[in-house]
Amino acid sequence: MLNQVEVKHLSKAYSYRKLFTDINVIVPDRSVFVVLGHNGAGKTTFLRILCGLIPATSGEVLFTLDGKSLSPREKRAQIGLVSPDLELYGELTAVENLEFFSGVRGLPFTLDRAREILEMVGLKGRGNDYVGTYSSGMKQRMKYAYALLHDPYILVLDEPTTNLDEKGVALVDSVIRRQREKGIVIMATNEPREVSYADKTLSLA
């Protein structure tokens, strides 16, 4: 069955400033798509449009899963996002954060699933600690826990290894490899190591 993300004639402008114009690309199943560009070129904006967080000026983004074109609501259910803009709740524990995010997504929550995800991102044994006490690297790992909680088909990563040490970078490697085996990875980065993951790239001027 056909699985892909298709970007058709996508443009975005703020007032008189054009970020990008008439972008057309197809991201196939089981691939990594990397968006490149200098700071301010529109990489994060492009990802936000893909995720349905902000509108495009023109054009559209189509998600096809098992041959079916998804509605906006269905699209959001298939996306896991790791972004500097993602807010965690420091006054809650890691487990409580995951329970809250599960509720927001309308997912059933189990402690076993929370522990499984936390172990997956290298936070085993830290589930009852308040997120406000976490280091910046631990908070980045926690964002991966949130993104992977619902086992998304499309994983969207904005600067994926920000604040991560060597072990954290290795974690991202393993996450990307697993995701590529079952779905799609879309990321914005200028890091040569991360660009090397790409099956296809888009350079924003």
pLDDT tens-place string over residues 124-134: 999 999 999 99
Q: Which residue has the higher pLDDT, 157 or 1?
A: 157
pLDDT for residue 10 is more than 90: yes
| Mean pLDDT, residues 27-52 | 95
Tell how many helices (H) and how many strands (E) occur in the chain. Answer: 7, 9
Find out whether 149 and 117 touch, Cβ atoms under 8 Å.
yes
Residues whose CB is less than 8 angstroms from the CB of residue 151 and which lie 6 or more positions away in sequence, other chains included: none
Residue 205 has pLDDT above 80, yes or no: no
Tell me the average pLDDT of the chain: 94
Whether 155 shows a pLDDT value over 90: the answer reads yes
Confidence band, pLDDT 50/70/90 cuts, at residue 181 = very high
Considering the chain, what percentage of its residues have pLDDT values greater than 90?
Answer: 87
pLDDT digits (tens, 9 = 90+) for 105-123: 888 889 999 999 999 999 9
Question: What local confidence, expressed as pLDDT, does residue 1 receive?
Answer: 66
Question: Token pair for residue 188?
Answer: 């914005």
Mean pLDDT of 184-193: 93
What pLDDT, on the 0 to 100 scale, is given for residue 63?
97
Q: CA-CA distances (angstroms) from residue 74 to 18, 32, 65, 203? A: 29, 21, 10, 28
Which among 136, 53, 123 has a CA at the least distance from the CA of 90?
136
Residue 182 has pLDDT above 70, yes or no: yes
pLDDT at 145: 96
**pLDDT confidence of residue 54:** 96
